[in-house]
Structures are given as structure tokens and as C-alpha cells.
Amino acid sequence: MSSTEATTATTTVAAPTVVPVALGKRGYDILIGPGLIDGAGEELARRFPGSRYAIITDETVAEHHLDRLTGSMTDAGLDFTTVELTAGEGSKSFPVFESAIDCVLSARLERGDLLIALGGGVIGDLVGFVAGVVRRGMRFVQMPTTLLAQVDSSVGGKTGINTRHGKNLVGVFHQPSLVLADTSALDTLAPRDFRAGYAEVAKYGLIDDPAFFAWLEANWRDVFSGGPGRIEAIATACRAKAHVVKIDEKETGPRALLNLGHTFGHALEAVTHYDGTRLVHGEGVAIGMALAHEFSVHMNLCSPDDAARVKAHLEAVGLPTRLQDVPGGVGTAEELMQAIYQDKKVKRGRLTFILTRGVGKSFIADDVAPDVVKAFLGEKLRG
């Protein structure tokens, strides 16, 4: 843990796009735009007067963005502590969870103070969980620095860590008090990480917004290159997620639609041992979404043309779409089934899948026969 003080030149910050998440007392705003980290100090001072902060980030993110944030907070006269964790999925673990909590308690933060999650999904999920349990719940701010985190994990209050039994099996629902999605932070992402996040953007089109999917097919180059389409795409994704979270905060119903591609995707992450050199989350989701469409074709629900169209778009942006695309292989159909069974979405042994009748026509199928899934996976593994 270290405290950092720095100063930065004053930066002009364009008015951000605001997406409200309407959850009553637990409601909050998502601000989207370039340079938001540079203006964070002022925004925080205005929204949370008198509060103290602990910024929790990882080494990689710190290198790119921490000075901008601490400079802005220092300029705004805010009192804060900084905690730097090791980068990577390995930090979503009990030991790091415990040590982050210890840092927050050592800093004597109180219930009204705030944690700041500066980083990607790993930092957001971990810090949200820490905030959810320290003193039985303190406030926190998400400052997502990856595309994946900006359009998915920073919004909606799902927090958690991984265990040897699977991903995100331990956590809480705990909503942030503010999300600052600085779109210029995405310029420092590796192309592979940007693509992985893009899978979650495309997902919102595939769930129930065929016009958005068509728009992405036409404009994805602008989204990737950082043109005006990028903010538009992120805001559309956030609006879609905010809507679903509003109607089903704790995933007892329609929120499950956000898991399109995730049952297969999580299983692929599990069998590759969450080894990001082989497969990152968004890539698992891309393959999962392609498989969900193909499985829906297999079940005579979806036309082969729609499945081919989805696969073609994901491949056009450079995402993997086939089990064979995972370096080192993904094991047997039986191993994939075992991983699927440990998923949180299993109820009384019944498999819940998000299936589809075509682009933008997804639905929750909560009684899928395991044998049919296994046979389908066996077929796909044979190529």
C-alpha cells in the first residue's frame, strides 16, 4: 500500500454521456466520455462531500492511469490512500480479497467513505466485493479501464471472486455509487483485450436489439479505432444493461439473458483454468455466443443463416468462434459438461441456457436436456 501525490496539467473534459441506473435508493449514474479520470477529483468532491477514499488498482493500470487520478483527486483536495494489487485474474482470490480488506481497515475508512475500483473486470469485481463486506457494506466507485468492464462488469452490482470450484462462485450483489467510464483509457488496451470486450458489446445486439447488431456490423471499425461510434456503442450497451438490471437486480428472471454465450463461455474458461494466455473471458463469450446460435440451430430454433451471420461478424473483428480456436484444446465433452454443472445457473440439476430464435431474439430456456448438450458438444469437438 502506498500513498501517491502528483499533479497534472488541467485537462479540458468534454461533457460526458450520462446513463442513469434507476434502482431507487441504490440508483446511480454511469458517466461515459473521454478524459473522465482527469476530471474525477472534482466529480467525486461534488457528489460525495467530506468522504475519504481508497483507490484500489493493479500495477498495469496504475502505470497508465493512476497518476491522472491521484493528480485530479489531489487538486480537488481529497483525502485518499492507494492500494496496488498484482494484475490478473489470480487477484480474484481469497488471499487477495483478505489482504485488500486489511488495507481498507488499516486506512480506517468508515462506512460513509468510498473505495475506488480503478481497472478492469478483475479489479471491479474484487473491489465491489470488498466494499460489499467491509463494515457490512461501504460505498464504491467503478472506474473501468477496459472495454469489457465499461460495458459489462462495472454496471449492475455483481461482485465476486473465484474458487477452485469455478468463477464468481463467491460474492455479493452490491451496487456502486457511481461509474466513470473514461473512453480514452481504452487507447492503452492491447488489441486482443479490446476485441474481447467487444464480444460483450455485440451481445447486447444479439440478445434483443437486432438494429444495434446491424449498426455494429456497419460501424465496428469506428468503434475499434476510437471514433464517435465508440462512445455510442458503449452508451448503448450500458443503457441495455441498466434496463435489465433495473427490472431484475438479483437475477431471478430476465437478467439471465445477459448470460447469452456465458454458460459455454464459463465452461471454456474453467477447463482452460482461467489461463488468460489461452482464453480471456470475452473470447470465451464470443465462442459461447457462436455455440449458443449453433446449438439453437441444432434445436431447430434458429436459422442457419442467422448463426452464420453472427459467426461471420465475430470473426470479422478477430474474435474466436470455435472450440478449436482455443490453444491447447478444451478437453472432452464430458469435461465441458462437468464444468457447466458447477455453474451458478444450474437449478436442481436442470440446465439453464440462453437460446435464440435468431439475431436479437434470445430467450431463457430453463430445462435443456444435458444429453442433447453433450451430444452437440461432442459433434463440435469433432469439428
243 annotated active-site: no
CA distances from 350 to 245, 267, 314, 366 (A): 24, 16, 30, 7
313 is in an annotated binding site: no
Q: Residue 273 interacts with a second copy (CB under 8 A)? A: no
Q: Residue 303 interacts with a second copy (CB under 8 A)? A: no
CB of 316 to a second copy, least distance (A): 35
Catalytic: which of 68, 139, 158, 345?
158
DSSP 343: S
Catalytic: which of 203, 230, 255, 380?
255
221 annotated active-site: no
Angle at Cα 235 formed by Cα 232 and Cα 240, nearest 5°? Answer: 125
Selected binder of a second copy within 6, 346, 365, 368 (CB under 8 A): 346
CB of 124 to a second copy, least distance (A): 15
165 annotated active-site: no
259 annotated active-site: yes
Distance CA 61, CA 150 (A): 14
Stretch that binds a second copy, among 63-71, 126-134, 214-222, 316-324 (CB under 8 A): 126-134
231, 33 Cβ separation under 8 angstroms:
yes
- Nearest CA-CA partner of 299 in 373, 380, 199: 373
158 annotated active-site: yes
Q: For a second copy, give the closer residue by CB, 130 or 286.
A: 130
Q: For a second copy, give the closer residue by CB, 172 or 381.
A: 172
* DSSP assignments along 148-202, one per residue: HIIIIITSS-B--EEETTEEEEE--B---SEEEEEGGGGGGS-HHHHHHHHHHHH
Stretch that binds a second copy, among 155-163, 217-225, 228-236, 362-370 (CB under 8 A): 155-163
Distance CA 284, CA 292 (A): 12
203 annotated active-site: no
Q: Residue 45 interacts with a second copy (CB under 8 A)? A: no
217 is in an annotated binding site: no
281 annotated active-site: yes
136 annotated active-site: yes
Distance CA 368, CA 336 (A): 15
In 10 A of CB 4, how many CB atoms? Answer: 17
Selected binder of a second copy within 246, 309, 322, 344 (CB under 8 A): 344
133 is in an annotated binding site: no
Q: Residue 121 interacts with a second copy (CB under 8 A)? A: no
Q: Residue 106 interacts with a second copy (CB under 8 A)? A: yes
Residue 311 grid cell: 459467426
147, 189 Cβ separation under 8 angstroms:
yes
- Residue labelled with grid coordinates 444429453: 371
235, 17 Cβ separation under 8 angstroms:
yes
Beta bridge partners of 368: 351
Q: For a second copy, give the closer residue by CB, 125 or 209.
A: 125
Selected binder of a second copy within 12, 164, 277, 367 (CB under 8 A): 164
Selected binder of a second copy within 342, 364, 370, 381 (CB under 8 A): 342
Stretch that binds a second copy, among 9-17, 109-117, 237-245, 360-368 (CB under 8 A): 109-117
**In terms of C-beta density within 10 A (0-12 exposed, 13-18 middle, 19 or more buried), how is residue 69 classed?**
buried
Q: Residue 102 interacts with a second copy (CB under 8 A)? A: yes
124 is in an annotated binding site: yes
Answer left, alpha or beta for residue 24, where phi above 0 means left and psi between -120 and 50 means alpha.
Answer: left
Residues in contact with a second copy by CB under 8 A are 50, 94, 98, 101-102, 105-106, 108, 110-112, 129, 132-137, 158-160, 163-166, 168-173, 250, 341-342, 344, 346-348
The residues that are catalytic are 136, 158, 200, 241, 251, 255, 259, 262, 266, 281
